[in-house]
Amino acid sequence: MSSHLIWPVIYLLLHISVMVRVLAVEGKDPASRAAWVIVLIFVPAVGILAYLLFGEPWITFRSRRFAGDAAITLIPHMADAPAASDQLPPQFRAAFDICQQLAGCPPVAGNTAELAADSNAAIDGMVRDIDAAQHSIHISFYIWLTDASGLKVVAALQRAARRGVSCRVIADGVGSRRLIRSAHWAAMRDAGIRLCVSMKIWRGLVWAGNRVDLRNHRKIVVVDNHVTWCGSQNCADAEFRVKPRFAPWVDIMLRLEGPVARQNQLLFASDWLAEAGESLHALLAAPILQEASDGFTAIAFGTGPTSEPGAMSSVFVGLLYAATREVVISNPYFVPDQQLLAALIACARRGVSTTLILPALNDSLLVGAISKAHYSLLVRAGVRLFEFHAGLLHAKTLVVDGMVALVGSANMDRRSLDLNYENNVLLYDVTLVQQIRQRQDAWLTQSDAVEPARVLGRPLLRRLADNAATVVGPLM
């Protein structure tokens, strides 16, 4: 073969190989598969490179092996947790069963919780728990800034470590890079805190194993194996000075006590085993403290690129199909896959009052455009849409029939559904759920209703732009 033909042949074989891979890989969403085929046909050179970097949630063999090791070595220690599936209303058991399959352990009874008043109150509450810790503190954040809130937690951890409390911290390599590169990170290490950078950037290159943009999006605080925090808030001020234009960031955080804290501990321990190589089985095997006799039933669970495809979406969908009266959702990033979009539409069409609250101004222009492209389908089905205008509504909440609530880190976008490591808690407690529901009502008073006539009467160019953005959605 002539030398000048070698590179075109190599390029052609690579193009064919990537196209075959797109069509042959198991579990890929059909919309994503179709979008990649279009990209590979019309911009083949860019498409090949993009697919190799972003086409699949590439995970190193080491990461997958540690995920398997966590299931084998850590989950069995949760066997003594007080299972409570029989305390759930029948309509919600299927949704809790999905979460149980993801968590590897059942819903547990005997939990209590407090809803933080706002972001500042949540940080202050975490600091109080850290200052009261006697044995262990485990923290994992996607974004940890060196602002007032971030440094409050840093200082509290240093105080705890110096009085002999075992402290471990996981911070995402991209989201928390400002802290990791600062003197405060080294100061925490010097104080005796065990530190771990999750999903390091240098490991993110596809040829090094992991997909370049996989992130640890979890927000986990576990103190003394019995107290935990769960919700949408990063370790940062509400003013979120790295993106001040969208401030304040409006979040929700729950402080929980009881057996469900041990399930959050399991998530942290799984990440710690995979990233730091240390097993925390002794903490998981410790006797569970007496649960509250009047406590509620809950389950904490995680999802990520090592979960079955569509895992997080299945949780959302299971809850939507369980609804008989009302669903209220707040979420900042709405780029649903096909099954989630269909479930939302079906929920409204069968007469369930379905309300979706999204930010009026999104920090991602593309996500905002894709969200708006779905408005016409939603309003036609009867979904009540609201746009929050008092900052960026970052809280991820889903309340069903005033009885069950899902709170955590997962957005309704492709990153949270398929790529990021997320953590959430699903709980059944009418009193607490009512408090979360009241918080949603407060957000609604700061939101504008999206009028169906405005959506359906959008100019042609706006419709074209928004709908074109949906083609990119499955690639995200």
CATH topology match: 61-300 vs 311-475: yes
**With contact defined as beta carbons under 8 Å apart, do 299 and 96 qualify?**
yes
Mean per-residue pLDDT pooled into runs of 10, the chain (476 residues): 72 87 84 85 87 77 64 68 79 96 93 97 98 98 98 98 98 95 98 94 53 89 97 96 91 97 95 90 83 89 90 97 98 95 98 98 90 94 98 98 98 93 98 98 98 87 78 67
Q: What does each C-alpha distance from 174 to 187, 215, 444 come to in angstroms?
A: 20, 8, 33
What pLDDT was estimated at residue 382?
97
The residue among 305, 333, 131 whose CA lies nearest residue 216 is: 305
> 331 is written with which tokens?
């979420």
The ranges assigned to domains in the chain are 3-54, 61-300, 311-475
Per CATH, the number for 311-475 is 3.30.870.10
Q: What is the pTM of this model?
A: 0.92
Looking at domain 61-300, which of 2.40.37.10, 3.30.870.10, 3.40.50.720, 1.10.10.10 is its CATH number?
3.30.870.10
**With contact defined as beta carbons under 8 Å apart, do 296 and 428 qualify?**
yes
> 202 is written with which tokens?
């240098």
- Which residues are paired to 115 by β-bridges? 254
Q: For 133, how many CA atoms within 13 A lie in the half-sphere containing its CB?
A: 32
What pLDDT was estimated at residue 79?
61
Q: How far is the C-alpha of 462 from the C-alpha of 372, rounded, in Å?
A: 10
Q: How far is the C-alpha of 317 from the C-alpha of 311, rounded, in Å?
A: 10
278 φ/ψ angles, rounded to the nearest 5 degrees = -115, 130
What pLDDT was estimated at residue 64?
65
Enclosing H/E stretch for 146: none
What pLDDT was estimated at residue 312?
97
Enclosing H/E stretch for 42: helix 30-42
What is the DSSP code string of 219-247?
Answer: -EEEETTTEEEEES--BS-TT-TTSGGGP
Residue 247 CB burial class (10 angstroms; 0-12, 13-18, ≥19)? middle
Q: What angle do CA 139, 141, 143 make, to 5 degrees?
A: 150
What pLDDT was estimated at residue 204?
44
The residue among 435, 462, 421 whose CA lies nearest residue 199 is: 421
Residue 124 CB burial class (10 angstroms; 0-12, 13-18, ≥19)? middle
**With contact defined as beta carbons under 8 Å apart, do 474 and 313 qualify?**
no
Q: What does each C-alpha distance from 321 to 100, 350, 352, 426 come to in angstroms?
A: 17, 10, 10, 15
Q: How far is the C-alpha of 430 from the C-alpha of 426, rounded, in Å?
A: 13
What pLDDT was estimated at residue 212?
73
